[in-house]
Structure 1
Amino acid sequence: MTRIAEAWRRVPTVSAKVLLILMPGTMVMAALVLAVALHGRQRDLEAALREKMAAIADVNAATLSSTSWTFDLRSVGTLVQAIGGIRDVVCVEVSDERSGDRVSWPGAGCPPDAGAAVERRPIRIHDLQVGTVALYYSRDAVDEHLRRDAAAGTLLLLLMLAGTAAAALAALRLAVGRPLHRLIASIREAERDSADERPHRPVDWRAADELGRVIEAHNAMAARLWQEETALRKSEERLALAITATRSSVWDYNLGNGQYWWSKEFPALLGYGPDELAMTAETWASLLHPEERERVIAASRRRLRDQARDYAAVYRMRRRDGRWAWIEDRATARRGADGRALRLTGTMSDVTERVRAELDLARERNILQVTLDNTDQGILKVDGDGRVVMANRRAAELLNIPQELLVGNPLFAEVVALQQRRGEFGEFGDDPDLFLSYGGGQEGTGGPPDEPSGAIDQPFTFKRRRPDGRIVEVRTNPLPEGGFVRTLTDVTVEARSAEEIFTAMQELERAYAELKETQASLVQAEKMASLALLVAGVAHEINTPIGIAFGCATHLSGRTGVLSDAFEHGTMKRSDLAAYVATAGDSARLIEQNLTRAAELIQSFKRVAVDQTSQERRCFELLAYLEEVVTSLGPTLRKSRHRIAIACSPGIMMDSLPGALSQVVTNLVMNSLTHAFPSGSSGHMVIDVDEMPDGDVEIRFADDGIGIPPENLPKVFEPFFTTRRGSGGSGLGLHIVFNLVTQSLGGRISVDSVPGDGTTFTLRVPKTATPNAAAPDTAKPDTATPHTGVPRPPGRPDDRPPDPLETEPA
């Protein structure tokens, strides 16, 4: 029912609603009348058809009874065919009860299975029934008459309905539609007139019916509303001018019914549209700053309990763009006889600029004082009257006087007198600033003859040594309004550092030479360790094919002895010889295959070994060479649960230094086995190769280990940096990789890692090495970083940190 009511409300016009009510009822009544008429017509037609068939049956039964009944098939058949020619007859059957013979028309299918009416008549001779005649007839003619009558009745019904609907709509339009149309047009014009501030025009319609009285009441109400709107508009204009002049908004809160109202200027203060904020106390509370919400709401609640009439508060509210605005809220309470607040009315103003200026000023003062107190220079300000108006802690320390004295704004002469009593001036004897005037107008009052005197308008600087040996640089800057600002700087360290720099440089050069010698030794040790790993791989890989070949030879030797004994004793059979030949063939094939495999492994290991012990440049196929290097690492990999895969397209030819590439891959694999996987875990390593359009090859070595912490990423290529110092790590593996890639192979390398998500080293090297890459041993592996003595990676001409675009740390 709810859906029907909702659909009824959505019908757009009254005419449509009238038709929805009128047409279904009219159609139902007309349909019932038509149905009753058709039912009567059907009964009449069926009765007429039945009477017709009964008469035909009686006539033919009488005809057959009047003849001498001999059941002549030919004469009976002729009669049956004549009866069958009558319209509506579908089957005629004549039967002889004495002989059991039967004549029917049209033959097959008579009598019909169903759907046909029948008229049966007995054939009698001398009151004795000798046979039966049956006429089966169809009601199709009746149905056809009914269909024609139904079509004609339906057409007549539709014409009647159309006429009824047209008459009803015409009456509805004249009686209801025209006055309603004028009323609606008047209401819409009233909206436009109100927006344009024009008086409303009444509806031009007069009638004594209900709609006439409604329109008359509407005209009277519209005239009254126009007068009230005019008065309200003038009042709002005055209020808006007052609010705009004060850059504020007005609000009102009725405590009795909880209604909250504010003027349209309040949403505008926060950047909202006039209708974007619901006028509720909850909306106001939701806009408060989280740090101030509890305080402001608690203060607002206190307004209801105390007896004060006026309130003021400043707090922050969130603007539409997410920023915070400072709002000054002023309110007045209207109270009842018992003193309880009944209503709060006030204004809210945006004071963000004023509050920010106050906060900035307070912040700047605080920053200035904190800066002065924490600066390494002593700062002292003296006004035109010679009084100390500002000083920091460092000034008190360098002047060797109590800070409490400077806080009390003493005369500068008193400060100098205190220093004189303590002997702070040494060979100077006095302070020059005591005898100089700054800002003009005051002449010197005398002093030592070698000291300058008179008005000074330029900075004045001198140094003096304190009794404790510290050297203080004093700089005096005159102020335009009179007085000066004095800065005191302890330059003792700078004075003593010159003699220490030479000694430090000598020590640095000696330490760098020792470091370079140690690095060279460790690099050679890394190369020998890699070669040892290769030798172990040779021994392990060769043992497998040779062992299989040896086993096959032993098995063949045993079968040969058995066959020889059978031959000598004359017991050898043809099947024994055939089995021996098959065994010999299989053994020979296995021996040949495994020895061939051993030879290939030996050639591969020889190439890798020669490459690792020399830096000769040659052409090689990258995929095959990487497989040879990984094969040489087979024993080390099989000792662990880790696996390595190669994803490289065949046919990539390199004209480069295979030894350097082998050393790089070996060090990367060993680095992952050592650092990437916890003990007892199983991991995967992948060597992925892509051929670049610019003639380079990009090799990505990735593992799914624990990754590298972010703080260690910038240092992974530095020499001697390792996280396994106590476990035998030298910290040179990745440094050697960096040198080989950037110098020997002429490429670049970067690392990317996420803790817990593995590490990826990306190498980009040219397929054809540069000419100077053929002799990397002659190049200096690294240079010292200035001021630290720590060697930096080669190929970087300055001491700047690694560029993230070059070495993408992870």
Structure 2
Amino acid sequence: MTRIAEAWRRVPTVSAKFLLILVPSLVVAVSLCSALFYYDRYKDLQAGLREKVAAIADVNAAALTNSLWTFDVPAIRNVIQAIGANRELVCVEVSDDLAEGWFVWPGSSCPSVDDSHVERRVIRVQNLQVGTLTLHYSQDVVREQLRQEVVNTAALLLLMLAGTIAAALAALRLTVGRPLGRLIASILEAERGGGHKQVNWGAADELGRVIQAYNAMLTRLGQEEAALRKSEQRLALAITATRSSVWDYDLHTGHYWWSKEFPALLGYGSNELPMTAETWSSLLHPDEAERVMAESRRRLRDHAMAYTAVYRMRRRGGQWAWIEDRATAQRDADGRALRLTGTMSDVTERVRAELDLAHERNVLQVTLDNTDQGIIKVDGDGRVVTANRRAAELLNILPEVLSGNPRFADIVAIQRRQGEFGEMGDDPDLYLSFGTGPGGAGMAAAGAAPDDEFGIPLGEPAGMIDQPFTFKRRRPDGRIVEVRTNPLPEGGFVRTLTDVTVEARSAEEIFNAMQELERAYADLKETQASLVQAEKMASLALLVAGVAHEINTPIGIAFGCATHLSGRTSTLAEAFESGTMRKSELAAYVATAGESSRLIEQNLTRAAELIQSFKRVAVDQTSEERRRFDLLAYLEEVVTSLGPTLRKSRHRVAIACSPGIVMDSFPGALSQVVTNLVMNALTHAFPADSKGHMVIDVDETADGEVEIRFADDGVGIPAENLPKVFEPFFTTRRGSGGSGLGLHIVFNLVTQSLGGRISVDSVPGDGTTFTLRIPKTAATASTAAAPPTASPTTTPVSLEKEPA
């Protein structure tokens, strides 16, 4: 039985075990059923054979009755041969009792066969026995038929068995084999390191529930493994980032273990250092080995749970590395150490940085002690942590007191007792930085403003001051010390003390000098305004002179015509009174009166138009009135007002402007600009006895502005003068009466009154172009009066015009 059980366990597949159970069971069951069936079938076939032979015997016995009675041998033989045609019969015997004859088929006698069977019939004629019919038959036919049926049935049963096995195997594969195969594949995949792959199978049977539970287990296992991997990764990253390693020492077994990072810290391979306490102790620095080993033994005796030690260990190359060892002890109920676990980190860089920092602190302290400015650093607890000798000197405190890290309040108390605050009465830092002391009222009573001087209320709670502040105080010996305090983000502050006695006195002198400069500047601005007004009045005087010259001609002609008409009227009146007036004289007078009246009316109308035009220009130049006007018509009026000046020269002004451009602006400012540009060109652009041209070209822009270009074909502006053309009082004709304010006034009028901008472009020898861009609708009064956004010297220019 043991061998059978062992052989059964070695069967490799469930299908094989299933077949080993199914096939014998089916064979045995089918064999038993077939044996019972064919035993009954054999009995039925035997009974049928006997019935058939009996029927043959009954039928042929009646057929032989007449033949035997008549002793008709041929008939008897024919009947016997007919009987022998049945293949179930082995031998046929007919006896003739009357003639004592004997007939046998197929031989002379019937063979004696054990398994043969005999069926006899007595042949009677009228109750007289005349013979006997004996039929010998064999059951070979029955057995052959039974064998054939068995063979056919066996073939059919084999087919059914094969189909049943195939169906059973298919059902087994679908219900058991396939899910088990997927489950096994998932397990093998996990064993090969391919990860936990869930089984894709859903069924409500036992295997389905098993696979569902397996998938749920894989999900939980995956989550736990992911969390474990993340934890391991974090631990590995933390160990790697901190250049640390983990170690463990079992005091009971003496087993010492460390992670692979420890040999790497010292430059060794992972297998080069045996994991023993002796290996660890052999790497210690000789100067520190005894101390470190003593501390290690002490860890076993005391009851502390955590330890920290810093010591040196030898690297592979012979250098020494600083190692920080942090350990945690596991103890039993009696406090005996059972196990030590900890980390070792390479802190060489930190130790070196600390040593360098200590050196730098020494250097810094020496530097601070040789600085002319006093420096104090106070931490968030109000304790002095850094101070130099200069601070002790300016505070009139011994350097030893500051070097002892006293509280800042104690320093203030010492100064208060010495009377160092003078009229101030106390130190604002004591309240502003720590929220202590008498508060704002006390400070105000001491002579310091609670808010204005320091910018923050005195007596503010600690932590509320986060802005630097500065104040000055006068010491009893007359020295003035400037105190500057800068709060630190972590709390506390840094205070600098500077002796500003000389600077304070110089500042007072500078303040007085600045007041004098402000007064001088105000006087200069007043003078400049007067000069600008004088320039405007000079322009107006020029306009008046032009008006007088222009009106003189039409009024003179009208006056001459009126005088001539008055003389002719007197002559005609004398002739009329004397009665000598002739018709021809009256006709001549009428003709003279009509012509004179026409000339008088024409010239007076011309004079009235000139007066009206000059009046509008003059009023515009002397007022700041804003109104709507047609730009083309107004430019023609301005040019007309300059007619007398232009006619004295050979120069001409042309206007290129589209009609219908309506401006809502300040015409006086525009008139002043055009007049100054024309006069500037007449003065500087053209040589003597030359004939020049000036063009005023106007275009509308899409952004609601007009672009006015004033161009001349004169000598141009030198490159070195181009950036200065709009500066006040700049002129190259100062000896010839130039004031240097003409283009400066133009710039101010364009940028302030008209709210636009102006630029100049010039090439020496090729003329000059001034480009104005002004809005068609001027800005409001407050905006128009605002100063320009750019100074004249920064206006983009490409040509330069000599200022008037």
Instruction: Report if TM-score (shorter chain) is over 0.5.
Output: no
Indicate the structure (1 or 2) with the bigger Cα radius of gyration: 2
TM-score band, normalised by the shorter chain?
0.3 to 0.5
Please report the TM-score for the alignment, with normalisation by the length of structure 2.
Answer: 0.36
Please report the TM-score for the alignment, with normalisation by the length of structure 1.
Answer: 0.36
